[in-house]
Amino acid sequence: MIDVRRSPELRAAIFACKRVDADLRKAIYAASRTSVNALWKPAVAKRATDKMTQRIILKGTRAAIRTDGFSLFAASSKKPLRGGLVPATQWQSAEFGARVRKVDVERRSRLGKTYRVSQTINRQFRTRQKEGRVAYDAASEVGTKTVVAWVQAVVTTIVNATGGERS
């Protein structure tokens, strides 16, 4: 984690974002989003190797830019996949894996009678892993690079807007 309080450059970039007018702020956000997404999306895509991981985690990968910094998102899609899994709320098994286990499930027959069946669940996911496989791994690799890209986008946009003049 990067501590903003210890970096005068980051504090200056945040202060600059807060002090510029609204039109320039929109341009800063657009340039920042483009530069951060250019690093973040390929890093996640490189690690999403199978189709399930691509559908769950890769879908909804984006960067959100705010006045005080940015956030990296993955698996933020709220559209249910075939089978009912919603990536935004049920992404953990694809990222960290799951334990295969047997559970008892209640079923209902066509005639309306209920009965219990033993069922094995979580076979489609990889085994449990403490650290994440896709988004967490990508964030640890490109974390500092995205901060650099964000600061560069802020500074470059302000310099281009002012014509390189110092005030």
d(CA 126, CA 59): 19
Calculate the average pLDDT of the chain.
88
- Kind of pairing between the strands at 69-73 and 101-108: unpaired
Q: Of 43, 103, 53, 102, nearest to 81 (Cα)? A: 53
d(CA 122, CA 98): 6
110 lies in which domain range?
Answer: 7-162
Share of the chain above pLDDT 90, in %: 41
Residue 115 covered by a domain: yes
Does residue 140 register a pLDDT over 80?
Answer: yes
User: What confidence tens digit (pLDDT) does each residue in 7-43 have?
Assistant: 888 888 888 888 888 898 899 889 999 999 999 999 9
- What the block records as the tokens of 64 is 């959100």
Residue 2 covered by a domain: no
Maximum distance among all Cα pairs of the chain, rounded to whole angstroms = 80
Residue 153 covered by a domain: yes
At which residue do the structure tokens 């910094």 appear? Answer: 69
Overall pTM surpassing 0.75 (yes/no):
yes
Does residue 118 register a pLDDT over 90?
Answer: yes
Residue 1 covered by a domain: no
The per-residue pLDDT for 56 is 92
Residue 52 covered by a domain: yes
Residue 80 covered by a domain: yes
Q: How many CA atoms lie within 13 A of 91 on its CB side?
A: 26
Write the DSSP assignment of 59-101 as a string of letters. Answer: TT-EEEEETTEEEEE-S---SPPTTS--TTTS-HHHHH----E
User: What confidence tens digit (pLDDT) does each residue in 44-82 have?
Assistant: 999 998 898 999 999 889 999 887 778 899 999 999 999
Task: Count how many domains the chain has.
Answer: 1
Q: Of 138, 153, 1, 3, nearest to 73 (Cα)? A: 138
Residue 43 covered by a domain: yes
